[in-house]
Structure 1
Amino acid sequence: MSKHKQYDVATSTLLSTGLEGKRVGYKKTKLGWIPEDWNVKSLDQLGEFSKGKGITKKDILEDEVGGLPCVRYAEIYTIYHYNTTVLKSKINQESAANSNPINCGDILFAGSGETLEDIGKSIAYLNKETAYAGGDICILKHHNQDPQFLGYLFNNDVVRSQLYKIGQGHSVVHIYSSGLKKVSVPIPPLPEQQKIASILNTWDKAIAAQEKLIAQKQALKNGLMQQLLTGKKRFAGFVEEWEEKSLNDIVKYLGGEAFKSTNQVENGVRWLKIANVGIGVVKWGDSTTFLPTSFIDENPKYVLKAGDAVMALTRPILNDKLKIAVFNKEDGIALLNQRVAKLISKNKNDLKFIYYIHQTPYFIYTMNAMMAGTDPPNISIKDLAKKKVFIPGYEEQKKIVSVIESFDNEIDNLINKGKHLKKQKQGLMQQLLTGEKRVKG
């Protein structure tokens, strides 16, 4: 489904609510049924718009001490969510003099974006310290509304669907104050705004706490991996010296097949390309492509299934992390494309252990030194096979893997709980911000 259709579905759901008859305590508006004591207002009725200006990348201070807080348009959709009290970027007095100030309660809209999801993304600035907004930011200074509530409302489907329709441009999408002024929103009385914002903020705090737990557990795992995978920490009963071996002795890197784009079909078996290999995950989404299912029998050695490990050979490192992942049951089966390698263990070595040693900082550091080319950088299977590593016996490998996997399972459980919290919050937002569910005073 295209983004356009997704937004239309979201809008039509709101518009169709209660069309069968009058709802007690509600009134019918152009946005659908809303509570009788709510009003539909355009954004220009809520306040005045102005524009940010200045603040290029070179204006951002590397040393944040003593600088003045600022925000650039891309940060609105890459760093922040619904509201923020802290702006991460800083500028000096000279840059601030060439920019536009923003104050506590102002709503900031991203005026440009690379995708339709970016366009019109907004945040409420909630710090009392004066800050500064760069170019391509539309600033709304509202009158007597709860800014935290507006931060949630303006990022809900009822607004996003309208922003999509007024976005202009192709490779870069733009939106202007003239278009934002026409956007209509359901507005409850101020006390109800404040109550809704408080409820949603409670959910945000729970989600943030969950994400903090995930980060802490991940840090513990990374530290333990560094010790276990280098032999600095060993388990009782294992005393044999680790052996230095070339990767060619313990693993085979099977490069994928150069399947042709003309072979692509609408539905079939998934086609695993470089873009589908993430850091620790296989990424399937709207960009997933397919090959005929007959290719499974025709190319058996390139078939991927649960338990197989794959890594990118082109642009394999992102933010000092290796793009390597293990297939799970949910990934089903797929066919391996060129410039992606399947790892096959050799000589009774544990595949998961091999997978983990590829993720150690030193391994990644030495990989960087081996890569050829700059745009994009590549690693060759031949060069990888020559790389030396220290490796324990098979039983110690299995023990190390079992401990690291226990951390992975705990992290997966924390991540799933976080996803559940976010899903619950999204449902609650839709109900509260349209008046479908009322809050008690």
Structure 2
Amino acid sequence: MNAISRSARSQGLPWNRVLLDKVATRGSGHTPNKKRADYWNGSVRWVSLRDTFRMDQGLISETTASITHAGLANSSAVVHPSGSVILLRDAGIGKSAVLQSDMAVSQHFMAWSCGPRLNNWYLYYYLQSMKSEFERISNGSTIKTIGLDYFRQLTIPLPEIEEQCLISRMLLDIDEFLASLEQLVTKKQAIKQGLMQELLTGRRRLPGFTEPWRTRRLCDLLTYEQPSPYLVRTSKQLDAGRVPVLTAGKTFILGFTNESHGIFRDHPVVIFDDFTTTSKYVDFDFKVKSSAIKILKARDGADLRFVHGRMQLIDFSLGDHKRYWISEYSKQELLVPDVEEQTAVAQVLADADDEIDALKVRIEKARSVKQGMLQELLTGRTRLPVQGEDDE
């Protein structure tokens, strides 16, 4: 077949759907008796629910637990060959991975060893594109699961193996690009953390600053306001709205509200959780959820970004469940420079944050592109030209 006719077959005709069991060998797994010490900590890697965090990253190379050959022989667990595609069918439904080496799995997983008509990475990405469907068809009151009957009847669109390989290569390339960006973010965050330790403590000085630092209490640097006028009235927040509702904890933005009164507009400020001592820098309009929030502003002679950054380095031990700002936290003594050096240090750290934020935006854009590619390439809506084996 010449290149033109081969490409026409690849791009012009719709893909057939085939039963997955016809092009791959399906298997599952089991958990050996946990009371038998001789069944555990052996040489056979065993993928379990404790490895959920390793899924959806392409290859899985390590496992939290391992079993012995005795554990394998005395259970229904089997070793699936390297390159097999595994899928979590409950307690994290739809997560998938490709085995980097021979491994066993628990009963929570499905595993497929692909035959010559099916590329394992094509199957991996197809399963990735099916996540919302897996969630939709799962059932169970306590732990949702997908029954084995579903997988016995599962069909997939099957282009020629050459096109499968091209699709897989494109998606692998974007995953490699994403991984490189995420590694760069991790590196930049580590660099920024090092800068904070050096610049906010005076161990390293910026050029042009030589004046000695002096000890000041937080309450001499910051003033506080109670949150009562800015508390949101509704108990449940909106997914979208005019004004974000904030917490000083990890979640930060709890949701949104369309309330028009009691909006805090005199920013920038730091919101401080009086019970946990966590804090967030805020430079936009907001309302708050908790009455335990203190709203902190800089006094004359203090740069708010610098002081907030320095607060992140305070080693403060929590004791009883009580409010800390007035009684203890505001009395913390810090070594600080004059306000000009504070501002210069804060700008260096802000520039580092901007660089990290820009990388995160690139990551989100790349993820969006990948999602679009999954929908286009794995449904056949966009076809890739396949180079013919014979050129006549």
**Alignment TM-score, normalising by the size of structure 2:** 0.81
**Contact kept in structure 1, 2:244 and 2:253, CA below 8 Å:** no
Q: Report the Cα distance in structure 2 between the residues aligned to 1:217 and 1:245, rounded to whole angstroms.
A: 31
Q: Report the Cα distance in structure 2 between the residues aligned to 1:56 and 1:234, rounded to whole angstroms.
A: 60
* 1:148 and 2:105 are equivalent in the alignment: no
For residue 307 of structure 1, the aligned residue among 261, 265, 268 is 268
Deviation at 1:289, TM superposition (A): 4.5
Distance 1:153 1:304, change over 3 A: farther
Q: Report the Cα distance in structure 2 between the residues aligned to 1:79 and 1:309, rounded to whole angstroms.
A: 36
Deviation at 1:253, TM superposition (A): 4.3
Deviation at 1:134, TM superposition (A): 2.7
Question: Aligned residue for 1:80?
Answer: 55
Q: Report the Cα distance in structure 2 between the residues aligned to 1:52 and 1:305, rounded to whole angstroms.
A: 59
Q: Give the RMSD, CA atoms, in angstroms.
A: 3.4
Q: Report the Cα distance in structure 2 between the residues aligned to 1:427 and 1:314, rounded to whole angstroms.
A: 44
**Contact kept in structure 1, 2:276 and 2:318, CA below 8 Å:** no
**Contact kept in structure 1, 2:47 and 2:106, CA below 8 Å:** yes
Q: Report the Cα distance in structure 2 between the residues aligned to 1:342 and 1:46, rounded to whole angstroms.
A: 62
Query: Structure 1: which 5+ runs fail to align?
Result: 1-24, 27-33, 297-302, 317-322
Deviation sequence 1:20-61 (CA, Å, 0-9, x none): xxxxx89xxxxxxx96252112434443433322289999xx
Q: How many residues align?
A: 368
Question: Aligned residue for 2:390?
Answer: none
Distance 1:200 1:289, change over 3 A: same
Corresponding letter in the other structure for 1:149: Y
Question: Aligned residue for 2:282?
Answer: 327
Deviation sequence 1:225-284 (CA, Å, 0-9, x none): 11111110012332332222222221234453395765667686546253x7438xx446
* 1:40 and 2:45 are equivalent in the alignment: no
**Contact kept in structure 2, 1:312 and 1:324, CA below 8 Å:** yes
Deviation at 1:395, TM superposition (A): 0.9
- Aligned pairs for 1:39-58 within 5 A: 39-54=16-31
For residue 91 of structure 1, the aligned residue among 51, 66, 80 is 66
For residue 163 of structure 2, the aligned residue among 184, 192, 205 is 192
Corresponding letter in the other structure for 2:367: K
- Aligned pairs for 1:197-276 within 5 A: 197-257=168-228, 259=231, 270=243, 272-274=245-247
**Contact kept in structure 2, 1:41 and 1:185, CA below 8 Å:** yes
Q: Secondary structure, in 3 states, of the residue corresponding to 1:141?
A: strand
Query: Structure 2: which 5+ runs fail to align?
Result: 1-7, 387-392
Corresponding letter in the other structure for 1:398: T
Distance 1:305 1:111, change over 3 A: farther
Q: Report the Cα distance in structure 1 between the residues aligned to 2:226 and 2:89, rounded to whole angstroms.
A: 43
Q: Report the Cα distance in structure 2 between the residues aligned to 1:308 and 1:182, rounded to whole angstroms.
A: 57
Q: Report the Cα distance in structure 2 between the residues aligned to 1:46 and 1:312, rounded to whole angstroms.
A: 57
Deviation at 1:394, TM superposition (A): 0.7
Q: Report the Cα distance in structure 1 between the residues aligned to 2:266 and 2:373, rounded to whole angstroms.
A: 38
Deviation sequence 1:198-250 (CA, Å, 0-9, x none): 11111111111111222112111111111111110012332332222222221
Higher alpha-carbon Rg: 2
Corresponding letter in the other structure for 1:217: K
Distance 1:49 1:75, change over 3 A: same
Q: Report the Cα distance in structure 1 between the residues aligned to 2:182 and 2:164, rounded to whole angstroms.
A: 27
Q: Report the Cα distance in structure 1 between the residues aligned to 2:63 and 2:293, rounded to whole angstroms.
A: 37
Q: Report the Cα distance in structure 1 between the residues aligned to 2:308 and 2:249, rounded to whole angstroms.
A: 14
Deviation sequence 1:55-85 (CA, Å, 0-9, x none): 89999xxxx9x96533223533x33325215
Once structures 1 and 2 are overlaid, which stretch shifts more, 248-257 or 259-268? 259-268
Q: Secondary structure, in 3 states, of the residue corresponding to 1:412?
A: helix
**Contact kept in structure 2, 1:35 and 1:435, CA below 8 Å:** no
* 1:372 and 2:331 are equivalent in the alignment: no
Q: Report the Cα distance in structure 1 between the residues aligned to 2:336 and 2:218, rounded to whole angstroms.
A: 10
For residue 81 of structure 2, the aligned residue among 103, 110, 129 is 103
**Contact kept in structure 1, 2:245 and 2:253, CA below 8 Å:** no
Distance 1:151 1:265, change over 3 A: closer
Deviation at 1:171, TM superposition (A): 4.9
Distance 1:162 1:422, change over 3 A: closer
Q: Secondary structure, in 3 states, of the residue corresponding to 2:98?
A: strand
**Contact kept in structure 2, 1:69 and 1:87, CA below 8 Å:** yes
Q: Report the Cα distance in structure 2 between the residues aligned to 1:202 and 1:395, rounded to whole angstroms.
A: 47
* 1:349 and 2:302 are equivalent in the alignment: yes
Q: Report the Cα distance in structure 1 between the residues aligned to 2:294 and 2:267, rounded to whole angstroms.
A: 15
- Percent identity between matched residues is 21
Which structure ranks higher in relative contact order (CA pairs < 8 Å, sequence separation ≥ 6)? 2
Q: Report the Cα distance in structure 1 between the residues aligned to 2:80 and 2:181, rounded to whole angstroms.
A: 31
Q: Report the Cα distance in structure 1 between the residues aligned to 2:180 and 2:33, rounded to whole angstroms.
A: 33
